[in-house]
Amino acid sequence: MTTRPSSDTVAVRPDPSPCRPQDLGKFEVTARDGAARLGLLYTNHGVLATPMLLPVVNPNIRTIEPREMWERYHVNGLITNSYVTWKHEKLRDPALKDGIHALLDYPGVIVTDSGTFQSYVYGDVEVGVEEIVEFQRNIGVDIGTMLDVFGRPDMTREELENAVVETADRATPSLTVAGEELLLNGPIQGGLHEDLRAHAGDLMGSMEGEHRGFAIHPIGGIVPLMEKQRYRELFQILLAARATIPPNRPIHLFGCGHPLLFPLAIALGTDLFDSAAYALFARDDRLLTPEGTVKLGELTEWPCHSSALFHHTPKEVREMEKEERSVLLSHHNLEITQVELARCREAIRNGTIWRLAEQRSHASPQLREAFEWVIEQLVDPDEGPVGQSALRIISSTNPVRGTAEHFGNDIDYRPHLLHLNAMLATRWRAPGSWWDDSVSSPERVVILTGAAPPWRNSALGTAVEALREEPRSVILISTPIGLIPFTLEDVSPWCHIDGSDDLWRMVISENEIDAWLDDLSLSNLPLDIHECLPDPDEIAGGDKRQIIRDWIDRCTVVDKLSLFCGINPKLSCDLTSNMSARRSRTDRMVNVNFDDQHCLSPRLPDGALSLTLNGARALHELNPNPPRKFQSEMEYIEGDHLGIPRVLLHDDAIPFVGQGRNVIHGFVLGADSHLIVGQPCLVVDSEGNLVAHGIANATADDMSFFTKGIAVKVRDGAMKQ
Ligand code: GUN
């Protein structure tokens, strides 16, 4: 007997439509939070919205019917085994006759594996490299898998090298047999060796078939690690492989499907998972939860709910027949898996995937160890592929957030804060001229303490007084996560930390002060610490008050242009020499004019900058040459103030983008390597002329690979009539 979790009827879901032929196999990223991305993978049986899990369906034992996965759980793709299908006549013949979709009664995306895992479990398989790809093609699979060589973690280096090389040797014949319609997985092997994983990523990522290369890169050989909860090594392998896998290919963790691992795996760039855990664990009376596995035998109440279990108590379920119980628990496990993936996708949308990974890391000691190891790689990246991936995670993360930053022990190591602090350390400069028109180096540093944001209310008076006293003062605010220039007082997350009131009374130690001043190149100056008084704002500064405030406003614009747009502060000083600003009722600068032209506004949610077309033109004049076209390898130009980053547009797109349409991947010929996701950029033609300005939606590296999706969200075209 099959237990359906409840009797409510489910509306029939229509079959998916095939993608446009020119989109087959393309991957598009629609939103990102650092390395985590929301993607769309185009196939002949619909679009896979990633990150997602392909439930494993054993064609001989269908614990949950594929049709029900489609109808009830909206599972848009599943994975089954082509080798098992090929081996059993009763499956092979109908698959060849009617196709795999009819055999499984499933209209969505069908992915198949090739028998490699069986060779790992049983020793060998008797199918040929080309034969198994041909079979997958003939039964109408959407995404097949070549017969890779499973690299076990306990193999010698030589054996693992052979597994990588042999897999790569089989790639071209496999892509040839796959033909035009069958997309292929190109697995990455290499055991625990970072360099072998990176080498495999390079080899497999650069394979080209007649129609296309591999559509997806699964990371293989990791099941033995997950079985033993060796999560640190799992994530080490992921980071090493990711260093060389082309960014426009989805990454799949082969055999990974425990919800506990989803947030960190996704935060580090995983797009696809597959697993039979939902059914295997159920057969063993175990429940999946986002925080680990729970045995049915121990429960009085459910630790987490699903529609499958809502109407039952643990005792009732224990008393069911084995088969009925196992089906019911499979439903629960699949539901929980889907719910956790939805939670991760939502976290990517609202910029909190790292926070979720951090929370989940506390659910298991092994995962916590892995998380702490990842943090170490971010804070102190090495020279190898793992360090390269770590740096890329930081630099691809939008440094500012519109949402509150939760205070916690790991706060200093979050990728967006590491990015923001690195930008502060490299791009911020102390003023060279002062409100009293003197032009010289600073005389002292003043740290304002004991005030909570908004600092323009709680600390402005004290700042103005300090500047009146000594015009050549660099004013810093003490925040729970470090010292920041007063001019950046409305930049979130610094000004938007969620924690107890005590945070703002926290005393920063002398060592910490020294380290921060060193980062800001202010170590050699005399230091004063001023406790912010109950605001003397109204009278602070006396008759100099307005002059000092106008000077602070100007410094704010110079500092933000430096931080978010890479503009040299000396050039910004010239730009702002005739600056005026309009303030809101809450006393924030809203419109900033240069020579009476509205050029920019601080963004209200995060304090970064929003340019107008006038502002874009002004910054463009400082940097009028076009960026270089993409080369075979991304060129990283060194320098703190390289000017506002530019994207070089293909001629065909100029009429559209010039009118204000978004820049689409595939029309980008080059981009400055210091482009920052979420921050302003210019779009220029091959002569360097301004076509538009907007917000970068991808890194320069991504732009050199992707052929689908939005590269720049354009704010305004420069060629509008
Ligand atoms: N399933 C789990 N691991 C692997 C692997 O390394 N290769 C293939 N093809 N399938 C897998």
DSSP state string for 560-577: HHHHHH---HHHHHHHGG
Q: How many CA atoms lie within 13 A of 185 on its CB side?
A: 30
pTM of the model: 0.96
**Chain segment 620-640, per-residue pLDDT in tens:** 999 888 888 998 787 788 899
Q: Is the pLDDT of residue 12 over 90?
A: no
What are the residue boundaries of the structural domains of the chain, listed by start?
A: 21-276+356-361, 422-611, 623-717
- pLDDT band, very low/low/confident/very high, at 543 (cuts 50, 70, 90): confident
Question: Would you call 461 helix, strand, or coil by DSSP?
Answer: helix
Look up residue 570 and give its amino acid.
K
Pocket test for ligand 1, best of 53, 79, 116, 145 (most atoms within 8 A of CB): 116
Structure tokens at 26: 């393309």
pLDDT of residue 515: 95
150 C-alpha vs ligand 1 centroid, how far in Å? 7
Question: The domain 21-276+356-361: what is its CATH number?
Answer: 3.20.20.105
For residues 189-208, average pLDDT: 98
User: Which residues on adjacent β-strands are paired with residue 288?
Assistant: 293
pLDDT of residue 198: 98
Atom 9 in ligand 1: residue holding the nearest Cα: 116
221 C-alpha vs ligand 1 centroid, how far in Å? 6
Q: How many CA atoms lie within 13 A of 183 on its CB side?
A: 22
pLDDT of residue 538: 64
For residues 35-57, average pLDDT: 98
pLDDT of residue 5: 54
- pLDDT band, very low/low/confident/very high, at 587 (cuts 50, 70, 90): confident
Which one has a higher pLDDT value, 584 or 613? 613
188 C-alpha vs ligand 1 centroid, how far in Å? 9
Structure tokens at 197: 């994983």
Nearest-Å Rg of the Cα atoms of the chain is: 28
117 C-alpha vs ligand 1 centroid, how far in Å? 5
| Sign of the alpha-carbon dihedral angle for 311, 313, 315, 318 | positive
pLDDT of residue 196: 98
254 C-alpha vs ligand 1 centroid, how far in Å? 6
Residue with tokens 């280096």: 157
Mean pLDDT of the chain: 95
Pocket test for ligand 1, best of 120, 125, 146 (most atoms within 8 A of CB): 120
Measured from the CA of 187, which atom of ligand 1 is nearest?
7
- pLDDT band, very low/low/confident/very high, at 442 (cuts 50, 70, 90): very high
Atom 6 in ligand 1: residue holding the nearest Cα: 220
Short-list 36, 39, 35, CA closest to 26: 39
Atom 7 in ligand 1: residue holding the nearest Cα: 220
Q: Residue 228: count other Cβ atoms within 10 Å of its Cβ.
A: 11
| Residues near ligand 1 (Cβ within 6 A) | 113-114, 116-117, 145, 148, 150, 187, 220-221, 223, 254-255
Q: Does the active-site annotation cover 672? A: no
- pLDDT band, very low/low/confident/very high, at 10 (cuts 50, 70, 90): low
Look up residue 454 and give its amino acid.
P
What are the residue ranges of helices labelled H in 350-398? 353-361, 365-379, 385-395
Measured from the CA of 145, which atom of ligand 1 is nearest?
9
Alpha-carbon gap, residue 275 to 83, rounded angstroms? 17
**Chain segment 700-718, per-residue pLDDT in tens:** 999 999 999 999 999 999 9
Q: Would 21-276+356-361 and 623-717 be classified into the same CATH topology? A: no
Look up residue 399 and give its amino acid.
P
How would CATH label the architecture of 623-717? Roll (2.30)
Alpha-carbon gap, residue 149 to 151, rounded angstroms? 6
pLDDT of residue 537: 59
Q: Residue 480: count other Cβ atoms within 10 Å of its Cβ.
A: 18
Q: Order of strands, edge to edge, in the sheet holding 710-717?
A: 663-664, 710-717, 690-696, 680-684, 646-649, 668-671
For residues 32-59, average pLDDT: 97
**Chain segment 296-347, per-residue pLDDT in tens:** 998 999 999 899 999 999 999 999 999 999 999 999 999 999 999 999 999 9
For residues 237-258, average pLDDT: 98
Short-list 290, 246, 241, CA closest to 268: 241
Residues 6+ apart with CB under 8 A from 393: 34, 35, 268, 269, 378, 415
**Chain segment 219-231, per-residue pLDDT in tens:** 999 999 999 999 9
601 C-alpha vs ligand 1 centroid, how far in Å? 52
pLDDT of residue 671: 97
Pocket test for ligand 1, best of 150, 155, 273 (most atoms within 8 A of CB): 150
Q: Are strands 680-684 and 690-696 parallel, antiparallel or unpaired?
A: antiparallel
pLDDT of residue 2: 45
- pLDDT band, very low/low/confident/very high, at 508 (cuts 50, 70, 90): confident
Tally of residues, the chain: 721
Atom 5 in ligand 1: residue holding the nearest Cα: 220
What DSSP state is assigned to residue 33? E
Measured from the CA of 147, which atom of ligand 1 is nearest?
9
**Which is catalytic among the residues 15, 93, 113, 284?**
113
Measured from the CA of 115, which atom of ligand 1 is nearest?
9
Atom 4 in ligand 1: residue holding the nearest Cα: 220
- pLDDT band, very low/low/confident/very high, at 7 (cuts 50, 70, 90): very low
Residue pair 579/560 in contact by the 8 Å Cβ criterion = no
Short-list 140, 239, 227, 150, CA closest to 183: 140
Measured from the CA of 151, which atom of ligand 1 is nearest?
6
For residues 253-281, average pLDDT: 97
**Chain segment 89-141, per-residue pLDDT in tens:** 999 999 999 999 999 999 999 999 999 988 888 888 889 999 999 999 999 99
- pLDDT band, very low/low/confident/very high, at 1 (cuts 50, 70, 90): very low
